């Protein structure tokens, strides 16, 4: 089963990459407000049901994919 995980810096957490994107976009003439940069992880997961896949990916987020102190995550299971 295919899963997509979005990992984002929590609000209030410093995001230097987002700040760099923001100021570069402004220098290029774009009218943008705040920009935040995170990661997207696409995974193939062995699971019998979407619910089981979701639970497995949640454990992966807690153990490896995200730092729960400073990042939030969002899981989507396809199919």
Question: Given the rule CB under 8 A, which residues bind a copy of itself?
Answer: 6-8, 18, 21, 24-25, 28, 30-46, 56, 59-60, 63-65
Assess contact for 8 and 36: CB atoms under 8 A.
yes
Task: Give whichever of 34 and 69 is closer to a copy of itself, judged by the CB atom.
Answer: 34
Task: Give whichever of 6 and 13 is closer to a copy of itself, judged by the CB atom.
Answer: 6
Q: How far is the CB of 71 from a copy of itself (least distance, A)?
A: 11
């Amino acid at each position: 089963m295919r899963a997509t995980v979005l990992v984002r810096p929590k609000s209030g957490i410093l995001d230097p990459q987002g700040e760099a994107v923001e100021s570069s976009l402004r220098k290029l003439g774009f009218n943008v407000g705040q920009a935040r940069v995170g990661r997207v992880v696409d995974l193939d997961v062995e699971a019998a049901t979407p619910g089981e896949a979701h639970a497995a990916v949640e454990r992966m987020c807690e153990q490896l994919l995200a730092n729960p102190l400073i990042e939030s995550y969002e899981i989507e299971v396809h199919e």
